[in-house]
Structure 1
Amino acid sequence: MTTTAPVIDIREVSRTYGEGPPALHDVTLSVRTGEALAVVGPSGSGKSTLLNLIAGLDRPSAGSVTVDGVRVDGLSETASARYRRARIGMVFQFFNLLDDLTVGDNVLLPAQLAKAPRAEARRRAADLLERLGIGRHTHAYPGRLSGGERQRVAVARALMNRPALLLADEPTGALDTAAGADVRELLTGLNADGQTIVLVTHDLGLAASCATRTVELVDGRIVRDTEHTAVVGR
């Protein structure tokens, strides 16, 4: 269920690098709490740039980026890191798990960085792993898991600090068809439970099955913004 409160408010944002054409040009975008937004478009269209601006990993050349009430574009590096820990969960194409830590310790890492109480964090990690169907792997190392299982661990880690926003960058890009379908089902379920998601993908099937809304970027501009009346599998 969506509300009218925007969790993302992007106003007239442009991003240029050197003398080349802008990666993003005059983009205005609002995302409501509870939406699952898919950002699609060809390579070089500005999808990753948009995600990086929302995450506070990059700054716009012009315009403003506000997420969960925070003006992200004006944060210092230290404040930006705190913002990501508190408000953003990130899932990547290649998982970015630490191979020398167990599954449980990978999931605990964001809570440790945020200095959360240890007992509470361990309960939260155990609950997430069970909820995502991988509790039996708590003491295993990521290298012993399948691609789909590792992506579930990455999602659990991203949700550890109860972020307002989950960002997913090509989350099925490194997975086979069966594992990709598993992640699609997982993301759909998370959004049905109220998690706001922004998903960058080349996979139009993933966008169609997971998203409540799709934005298409071409040459750094929004050329299409479509709300879906029904999502497959819901």
Structure 2
Amino acid sequence: MATTAPPLTPPPVIDLREVRKAYGEGPPALAGVTLSVRPGEALAVLGPSGSGKSTLLNLIAGLDRPSAGSVTVDGLRVDTLGEAASARYRRTRVGMVFQFFHLLEDLTVTDNVLLPAQLAGMSRAGARRRAAELLEHLGIARHAHAHPGRLSGGERQRVAVARALMNRPALLLADEPTGALDTASGEDVRALLTQLNADGQTVVLVTHDLSLAASCATRTVELVDGRIVRDVRHTRPTAEVAR
């Protein structure tokens, strides 16, 4: 009688092993962190100021290197990459969303979204199709030819998310994505991140916003003094993207 092989477990999108990061002679910013993030998870990283949250995000993004340990993202050893390979990694495998958007005010919404594709060498026609699809999906197609300064905070963050997703990254990193927004715009971004994760996007967000973590995350990790002190997986209600 034939037996059925067990389903293969997909490799983690993020795999950190005994990661340590020290600056100078003081206590390390990260003190031996081991963390694995599965495809499709929405991980919220919480902790007080100075706990190591930003350091963790920078190591995953390839913006910094660990003092010890390994950082693997989407099967790639990020901590061993040179400068050019790190830049290519950020263009193709990771999308980043920041607290203050970092949009170019003299470019239209569409041109801001197109930037990562241009840097990655995508064809012009293919890039414009992808940008139009993202703007439509994220509910901001009507602003395609506007400049960012004419948009609300929530709309500008949607543009930043579209730009981050342009090259279909395996991982979306969000650093305090609601930190500069009013309450209504923050709710808008919470709904957007929740829907993106429900659609299958792996998300890691660093935040002080407990309501953001509670509504968006399927897993919460808390850092204190560079160590993981709590790691909880949980379910969250399905949310619709605010349009």
TM-score range, shorter chain: over 0.9
Tell me, yes or no, if the aligned pair for 1:27 and 1:221 is still in contact at 8 Å. yes
1:63 matches 2:96: no
1:216 is aligned to: 222
> Which residue pairs with 1:25 in the alignment?
31
Aligned residue in 2 for 1:187: 193
CA distance in 1, matches of 2:197, 2:141: 21
**Is the 1:14–1:62 Cα contact (8 Å) retained in structure 2?**
yes
Deviation >4 Å, runs of 4+: none
Amino acid at match of 2:42: A
Give the secondary structure class of the aligned counterpart of 2:186: helix
What is the alpha-carbon distance in structure 1 between the residues aligned to residue 195 and residue 205 of structure 2? 14
Name the residue aligned to 1:87.
93
Task: Tell me how far apart the structure 1 counterparts of residues 144 and 26 of structure 2 sit (CA, whole Å).
Answer: 47
Residues 166 and 198, structure 1, Cα contact 8 Å, conserved in 2: yes
**Shift of residue 233, structure 1, vs aligned partner:** 3.4
Contact 1:40 1:216 in 2 (8 A): yes
Q: Measure, in 2, the Cα distance between the counterparts of 1:90 and 1:120.
A: 21
Measured after TM superposition, the shift of residue 4 of structure 1 is 4.3
Deviation at 1:40, TM superposition (A): 0.3
State the TM-score, normalized to the length of structure 2: 0.94
CA distance in 1, matches of 2:159, 2:89: 22
| In structure 2, C-alpha distance between the alignment counterparts of 1:5 and 1:140, rounded to whole Å | 41
Q: Which residue of 2 aligns with 1:233?
A: 238
Q: Post-superposition shift, 1:5?
A: 2.4
**Structure-2 separation of matches of 1:232 and 1:69:** 31
Normalised TM-score (structure 1): 0.97
The equivalent position to 1:159 in structure 2, one of 139, 153, 165, is 165
Q: Distance in 2 between matches of 1:218 and 1:114?
A: 37
Per the alignment, residue 100 of structure 1 pairs with 106
Spell out, residue by residue over 1:74-128, the C-alpha distance to the aligned partner (whole angstroms, 9 max, x if none): 0001000000101000000000000111000000000000010110100000010
Residue in 2 aligned with 1:197?
A: 203
Larger radius of gyration: 2
Cα distance, 1:14 vs. partner? 0.4
Q: Secondary structure at the match of 1:93?
A: coil
In structure 1, what is the Cα distance between the partners aligned to 2:102 and 2:180?
Answer: 12
Mapped partners of 1:52, 1:62: distance in 2: 15
| Partner-residue secondary structure (3-state), 2:173 | strand
What is the CA distance between 1:232 and its match in structure 2? 3.0
Count of matched residue pairs: 231
1:116 has 2:118 as partner: no
CA RMSD of aligned residues (A): 0.8
- The alignment status of 1:168 with 2:174, answered yes or no, reads yes
SS of equivalent to 2:72: strand
Residues 148 and 180, structure 1, Cα contact 8 Å, conserved in 2? yes
Question: Structure 1: which 5+ residue stretches go unaligned?
Answer: none
2:153 equivalent to 1:147: yes
Q: Verify the 8 A CA contact 1:208 1:232 in the aligned structure 2.
A: no
CA contact (8 A) 1:165 1:195 kept: yes
Identical residues among aligned pairs (%) = 82
CA distance in 1, matches of 2:98, 2:121: 24
Structure 2 distance, partners of 1:89, 1:149, is 18
Q: Which amino acid aligns with 2:238?
A: G
Match of 2:13, SS state, is: strand
Write the letter of the residue equivalent to 1:162. Answer: R
